[in-house]
Structure 1
Amino acid sequence: MTNATESKHYPPNTKPTLCTPEQMAVDDFVRLGGEFFRVQDMRAMGGSSSRVLILEDYGPWVMTGKREIYRPI
Protein backbone atom coordinates (compact mmCIF):
# COMPACT_ATOMS: atom_id res chain seq x y z
CA MET A 1 0.00 0.00 0.00
CA THR A 2 1.36 3.43 -0.90
CA ASN A 3 0.62 6.55 1.08
CA ALA A 4 -0.93 9.65 -0.50
CA THR A 5 2.40 11.43 -0.82
CA GLU A 6 3.99 8.57 -2.74
CA SER A 7 1.06 8.26 -5.13
CA LYS A 8 0.99 11.96 -6.16
CA HIS A 9 2.75 13.10 -9.30
CA TYR A 10 4.07 16.63 -9.68
CA PRO A 11 5.88 18.48 -12.44
CA PRO A 12 9.61 17.63 -12.30
CA ASN A 13 11.72 19.62 -9.83
CA THR A 14 8.74 21.21 -8.05
CA LYS A 15 7.24 20.98 -4.58
CA PRO A 16 3.58 21.43 -3.60
CA THR A 17 2.87 24.68 -1.74
CA LEU A 18 -0.35 26.28 -0.48
CA CYS A 19 -0.43 29.73 -2.07
CA THR A 20 -2.66 32.83 -2.29
CA PRO A 21 -3.05 34.72 -5.58
CA GLU A 22 -0.71 37.48 -4.36
CA GLN A 23 2.03 34.89 -3.62
CA MET A 24 2.02 33.42 -7.15
CA ALA A 25 5.13 33.72 -9.29
CA VAL A 26 6.05 33.23 -12.92
CA ASP A 27 7.14 29.59 -13.51
CA ASP A 28 4.86 28.20 -10.75
CA PHE A 29 2.49 25.44 -11.89
CA VAL A 30 -1.24 25.07 -11.22
CA ARG A 31 -3.28 21.92 -11.67
CA LEU A 32 -6.51 22.27 -13.65
CA GLY A 33 -8.61 19.32 -14.78
CA GLY A 34 -5.88 16.87 -13.81
CA GLU A 35 -3.18 18.62 -15.89
CA PHE A 36 -0.37 20.95 -14.84
CA PHE A 37 0.09 24.34 -16.47
CA ARG A 38 3.06 26.71 -16.04
CA VAL A 39 2.45 30.37 -15.23
CA GLN A 40 4.00 32.44 -18.03
CA ASP A 41 2.72 35.83 -16.88
CA MET A 42 0.06 37.32 -14.62
CA ARG A 43 -2.08 40.41 -14.15
CA ALA A 44 -3.54 41.99 -11.02
CA MET A 45 -7.32 42.39 -10.80
CA GLY A 46 -7.59 45.51 -8.64
CA GLY A 47 -6.68 43.82 -5.38
CA SER A 48 -4.70 41.02 -3.81
CA SER A 49 -7.59 38.54 -3.59
CA SER A 50 -7.37 37.44 -7.23
CA ARG A 51 -5.00 37.37 -10.20
CA VAL A 52 -5.30 36.55 -13.87
CA LEU A 53 -2.65 33.93 -14.59
CA ILE A 54 -1.50 33.47 -18.16
CA LEU A 55 -0.90 29.73 -18.40
CA GLU A 56 1.25 28.03 -21.02
CA ASP A 57 -0.88 25.89 -23.41
CA TYR A 58 -4.06 27.04 -21.63
CA GLY A 59 -4.43 30.83 -21.73
CA PRO A 60 -5.82 33.22 -19.10
CA TRP A 61 -7.26 31.76 -15.89
CA VAL A 62 -8.48 33.65 -12.81
CA MET A 63 -7.13 32.49 -9.44
CA THR A 64 -9.52 33.70 -6.73
CA GLY A 65 -8.30 32.06 -3.52
CA LYS A 66 -5.76 29.80 -1.84
CA ARG A 67 -4.88 26.60 -3.63
CA GLU A 68 -2.09 24.07 -3.87
CA ILE A 69 0.44 25.10 -6.48
CA TYR A 70 3.73 23.52 -7.53
CA ARG A 71 6.79 25.73 -7.16
CA PRO A 72 10.17 25.05 -8.79
CA ILE A 73 12.86 24.05 -6.28
Structure 2
Amino acid sequence: MYKRRSKEQPSEPPPPVGTAKATRLPMDVRIGDFVLLNGSYQRVRDMRAAGTSAYRILLFAGHAPLVMRTPRTVYRPITWH
Protein backbone atom coordinates (compact mmCIF):
# COMPACT_ATOMS: atom_id res chain seq x y z
CA MET A 1 0.00 0.00 0.00
CA TYR A 2 1.24 3.48 -0.79
CA LYS A 3 1.16 6.57 1.32
CA ARG A 4 -0.83 9.52 0.03
CA ARG A 5 1.31 12.59 -0.61
CA SER A 6 0.46 15.62 1.42
CA LYS A 7 0.23 19.03 -0.21
CA GLU A 8 1.84 20.59 2.85
CA GLN A 9 5.43 21.71 2.64
CA PRO A 10 7.82 19.75 4.85
CA SER A 11 8.36 21.58 8.10
CA GLU A 12 11.71 23.06 9.04
CA PRO A 13 13.76 21.25 11.65
CA PRO A 14 14.04 22.95 15.03
CA PRO A 15 16.75 25.63 15.10
CA PRO A 16 20.10 24.94 16.72
CA VAL A 17 19.95 25.19 20.52
CA GLY A 18 21.18 28.50 21.92
CA THR A 19 20.57 30.53 18.77
CA ALA A 20 18.38 33.49 17.85
CA LYS A 21 16.59 33.85 14.52
CA ALA A 22 17.21 36.99 12.43
CA THR A 23 17.05 38.12 8.82
CA ARG A 24 20.50 39.32 7.82
CA LEU A 25 21.97 41.09 4.81
CA PRO A 26 24.99 39.41 3.18
CA MET A 27 27.33 41.94 4.83
CA ASP A 28 25.85 41.18 8.28
CA VAL A 29 26.44 37.40 8.31
CA ARG A 30 29.22 36.21 10.63
CA ILE A 31 31.35 33.12 10.93
CA GLY A 32 29.52 30.83 13.36
CA ASP A 33 26.00 31.69 12.15
CA PHE A 34 23.74 28.82 11.05
CA VAL A 35 21.94 28.71 7.69
CA LEU A 36 19.22 26.23 6.68
CA LEU A 37 20.39 24.35 3.57
CA ASN A 38 18.68 21.28 2.13
CA GLY A 39 16.77 20.54 5.31
CA SER A 40 19.60 20.88 7.83
CA TYR A 41 21.37 23.74 9.56
CA GLN A 42 24.93 24.36 8.42
CA ARG A 43 27.39 26.49 10.38
CA VAL A 44 29.28 29.17 8.44
CA ARG A 45 32.95 28.15 8.74
CA ASP A 46 34.44 30.87 6.56
CA MET A 47 33.35 33.44 3.99
CA ARG A 48 34.68 35.43 1.09
CA ALA A 49 33.66 38.76 -0.42
CA ALA A 50 32.38 38.46 -3.97
CA GLY A 51 33.27 41.78 -5.54
CA THR A 52 31.31 44.08 -3.23
CA SER A 53 29.87 43.85 0.25
CA ALA A 54 26.48 43.16 -1.34
CA TYR A 55 27.54 39.55 -2.03
CA ARG A 56 29.15 36.93 0.20
CA ILE A 57 30.32 33.42 -0.50
CA LEU A 58 29.56 31.36 2.61
CA LEU A 59 31.71 28.29 3.21
CA PHE A 60 30.56 25.26 5.22
CA ALA A 61 32.15 22.01 6.37
CA GLY A 62 30.75 19.15 4.29
CA HIS A 63 28.50 21.30 2.09
CA ALA A 64 28.94 23.24 -1.13
CA PRO A 65 29.54 27.00 -0.84
CA LEU A 66 26.55 29.33 -0.99
CA VAL A 67 26.57 32.67 -2.79
CA MET A 68 24.41 34.95 -0.66
CA ARG A 69 22.97 37.82 -2.69
CA THR A 70 19.81 38.74 -0.77
CA PRO A 71 18.73 38.94 2.88
CA ARG A 72 18.34 35.50 4.43
CA THR A 73 17.18 34.01 7.71
CA VAL A 74 20.12 32.95 9.84
CA TYR A 75 20.44 31.70 13.40
CA ARG A 76 23.14 33.37 15.46
CA PRO A 77 24.49 31.85 18.68
CA ILE A 78 23.40 33.83 21.71
CA THR A 79 26.33 35.21 23.65
CA TRP A 80 26.07 36.12 27.31
CA HIS A 81 28.27 38.86 28.68
TM-score bracket for the superposition, by shorter chain length:
0.7 to 0.9
| CA drift at 1:8 | 6.2
Larger relative helix fraction? 1
| CA drift at 1:49 | 1.4
1:25 aligns with 2:30: yes
Extract structure 1 runs of 4+ deviating beyond 4 A: none
Sequence identity percentage: 39
- What is the TM-score when the length of structure 1 is the normalising length? 0.84
Q: 1:13 to 1:43 in 2, by over 3 A?
A: same
- What is the TM-score when the length of structure 2 is the normalising length? 0.76
| CA drift at 1:56 | 2.0
Uncovered stretches (5+) of structure 2, i.e. residues with no partner: 1-11
Cα distance in 2 for partners of 1:27, 1:59 equals 16
* 1:12 aligned to which of 13, 17, 41: 17
* Matched pairs, number: 67
1:48 aligns with 2:59: no
Coordinate RMSD, CA, aligned: 1.5
What is the SS of the residue equivalent to 2:27?
helix
What is the SS of the residue equivalent to 2:14?
coil
Cα distance in 2 for partners of 1:66, 1:33 equals 18
